[in-house]
A and B are shown apart, each in its own frame.
Chain A
Amino acid sequence: MYRYDEFDHDFVQARVAEFSDQVQRRLSGEITEDQFRPLRLMNGVYLQLHAYMLRIAVPYGTLNSKQLRMLGHIARKYDKGYGHFTTRQNIQFNWPALSDIPAILADLASVEMHAIQTSGNCIRNVTADHFAGAAADEVADPRPYAEILRQWSSVHPEFSFLPRKFKIAVTGAERDRAAIQTHDIGLHLKKNAAGELGFAVYIGGGQGRTPMVARKIRDFLPEADLLSYCTAILRVYNLYGRRDNKYKARIKILVHETGVEEITRQVEAEWQELKDAELKLPDADIRAIEAYFAPPELTGRPDGDEAVKLARLDSKGFSEWLDQNVVTHRHPDYAAVTISLKGIGEVPGDASDSQMEAVADIAEKYAFDELRVSHEQNLILPHVARADLKAVYDALVDIELATANSNLISDIISCPGLDYCALATARSIPIAQEISRRFASLERQREIGELKLKISGCINACGHHHVGHIGILGVEKKGSELYQVTLGGSADENTSVGEIIGRGFSSEEITDAIEQIVDTYLGLRLNPQEKFIDAYRRVGPAPFKEALYAGEAKAA
């Protein structure tokens, strides 16, 4: 994986020193909160309901075991023994004292990590397919490009005060696991007819109060032009994006109001000025960054098939986990493993200090020291020999992280909601927990099949509810929590925004409503292979409305 060079080390150390000084001056009263707030936000420090919150960047979701161990150490030493993995592939700590944050940042810097640009109106952590480098279906690893974007966007003077935050995602496969069409810029790495690498470029996707699916503005951008083209997009946005209204300030609104043809013309015109200048990426530079991401040397382990076969016979639990949480690797003797942070009734995305340390040990021993954070709030071991899968499973059972529910209804994305977040209008975690408990039976979950359920505790949509097959949005109505349900959203290569199905449900009603929706689907699907999202797209909302509300209409 990427290693800091001298410049990166100096840059991060300088930032630690700078922010430590700013914290000291704040604590001594030398600077006011109004002066300090933008400075702390540039370093990932928020103020939540109970305490400060520190959001730490995990660039394109890639970690090594030393880094994960350090996150466990921070959780134990400075926080309350756990951390929360987020949909931006980052991690948040919920209880740090402001006075401890300089020490935390120094600890992070010692393992090449930081919290820079995890907040503020700048380019945020660039996310990537969590199976990057391992997936059997990718044309190339997207992370070198994410790293190039990270280097370019870090404290970029022109793009540090944009109209609003700006998020970029990259995938290297046709099957989009990085939700690129919900991003300000989505990049799909592909090959043209000549076999050259480049990108399909999407802009203007986003969630929040005005969800929009990104529009493709270029079908093939040569890889050398990545930075010049992104600069052109950011320039057009920085110039014309609205600054008068926070809720209309994202690029999606600009794309919508300007029209995709006109904004494409503007971007292309800007790009003509830039494309042959200093932003053109020399091939040697791309290949040098790519070398950092060279996959580990995967030696042949042909004993895997036999080992897996025997272990399957020996353990039903292993067999189920294998079916659900283990995916094909480009090397036939290897597999990529999803470590579910969605144990039944647990808090989605939370991991304890000792779990982080134990997972780090597993990664070191069995997975070439590589880990990923997925935007679905799970951890990934991208390269595990099939012959070692049983050992990995047993180690995960020991730390209660072997739940076999990847992509099933209990693999829920949930924001922290009103249990932590100062912006939230309703709780989301308890709803996730109750739904997870209701559908605890793995047999039942597998009968239902792939179902992406996503919950947000406010309209800002951090829980991605708009693109859940089933989405739940918590709002406050007359002092109570009310949960609105959307159906038919999706965040893959066929991205769609879910439709509101009808009136909302109280916290007591919502789990029953979800069960009714699921039962309706089971009753109408053509066969067990027809997934929830496909069935919904075939039949539309009517049968679900009927199931949820017909009784009311008759009563009324």
Chain B
Amino acid sequence: MKILTANRLSDGIAVWYADGGWAEAVGQADLAHDKAAEDRLEAIGAKAYADNEVVDVNLIDADIVDGVVEPVRLREKIRAAGPTIRGDLGKQAEQAA
């Protein structure tokens, strides 16, 4: 399964495409289960890039863990949570708050 991720142009914050917009958390990201859905996400990413909403757009591997979407690769897990050495920073801090 794939999800669409990028960084927001204005502040660089990592975002994931979810429910028609760019969410600041990965948990509810739109999942592509097949090639057609991947193509649809890719097209959305390309348009958002062209519209200068986001940069560094990527389709990445994801799974559903305990009912929420979770990236597969460590790099993407760290993007989704924040630095592993600073639990007080990044998404993990916002979610804990």
- List the interface of chain A (C-beta within 8 A of B): 26-27, 29, 32-33, 47-52, 80, 95-99, 347, 418-420, 422, 424, 427, 429-430, 433, 476, 479-481
Residues of B within 8 A of A (CB): 7, 9-14, 49, 51-52, 55-56, 72-75, 78-79, 82-86, 89-90
| A418 partner residues in chain B, CB cutoff 8 A | 74-75, 78
Alpha-carbon distance A418/B73, docked complex (angstroms): 12
Task: Say whether, besides A33-B55, A50-B90, A429-B85, A419 and B12 are in contact (CB < 8 Å).
Answer: no
Which residues of chain A are near B11, meaning CB under 8 Å? 51-52, 97-99
Q: A347 with B12: in contact, given A33-B49, A47-B7, A419-B78 (CB under 8 Å)?
A: no
Choose from A95, A97, A347, A479 the contact partner of B85 (Cβ within 8 Å): A347
Q: A50-B79, A50-B82, A80-B89 are in contact. List 19 more A-B contacts (CB 8 A).
A: A27-B10, A29-B51, A33-B52, A33-B55, A47-B7, A48-B12, A49-B78, A49-B79, A50-B13, A95-B89, A96-B12, A99-B11, A419-B78, A419-B83, A419-B84, A424-B75, A430-B85, A476-B74, A480-B74
* Alpha-carbon distance between A99 and B52 when the two chains are bound, in angstroms: 14
Partner of A47, one of B51, B55, B84: B55
Supposing A50-B79, A50-B83, A479-B74 touch, asked if A29 and B52 sit within 8 A by C-beta, the answer is: yes
Specify which of A27, A51, A427 is in contact with B7 (CB 8 Å cutoff): A51
Closest 3 CB pairs of A and B: A97-B11, A52-B12, A419-B83
Given A27-B9, A98-B9, A430-B85, A481 and B14 contact (CB-CB distance below 8 Å) = no
Known: A29-B52, A33-B55. A98 touches B10 (CB 8 A): yes
A32 / chain B contacts, CB cutoff of 8 Å: 52
Which B residue sits closest to A422, measured CB to CB? B56
Determine which of B10, B79, B90 lies in contact with A99 in the assembled complex, contact meaning CB atoms within 8 Å.
Answer: B10
Report the nearest A residue to B77, measured CB to CB.
A418
Contacts of A33 in B (CB 8 A): 9, 49, 52, 55
Q: How far is the CA of A99 from the CA of B8 in the complex (A)?
A: 11
Closest to A32 in B: B52
Cβ distance B62 to chain A, nearest Cβ, rounded Å: 14
Query: Which residue among B13, B55, B56, B83 has the maximum number of chain A CB atoms within 10 Å of its CB?
Result: B83
Measured between alpha carbons, how far is A422 from B9 in the docked complex, in Å?
Answer: 16
Tell me, rounded to whole Å, the shortest Cβ–Cβ distance linking A419 to chain B: 4
Contacts of B83 in A (CB 8 A): 50, 419-420, 429
A49 near B75 with CB under 8 A, answer: yes
Report which of B12, B51, B90 forms a contact with A97, defined as CB distance below 8 A: B12
Q: What B residues does A95 contact at CB under 8 A?
A: 89
CB distance from A535 to the nearest CB of B (A): 32
- Which residues of the other chain, B, contact A80 by a CB distance below 8 angstroms? 89
CB pair A47–B12 under 8 Å, yes or no, is yes
| Nearest residue, chain A, Cβ from B51 | A29
Please give the distance in Å from B13's CB to the nearest CB on chain A.
Answer: 6
CB distance from B8 to the nearest CB of A (A): 9
Q: Residues of B contacting A96 with CB < 8 Å?
A: 12
Distance between Cα atoms of A480 and B49 in the complex (Å): 31
- A426: nearest residue on chain B (CB-CB)? B74
A430 and B94 alpha carbons, distance in the complex (Å): 22
CB distance from A77 to the nearest CB of B (A): 15
Report B64 CB to chain A, min CB distance, Å.
18
Contact A51 B74 (CB under 8 A): no
Residues of chain A within 8 A (CB-CB) of B56 are 47, 422
List of A residues within 8 angstroms of B14 by Cβ: 49-51
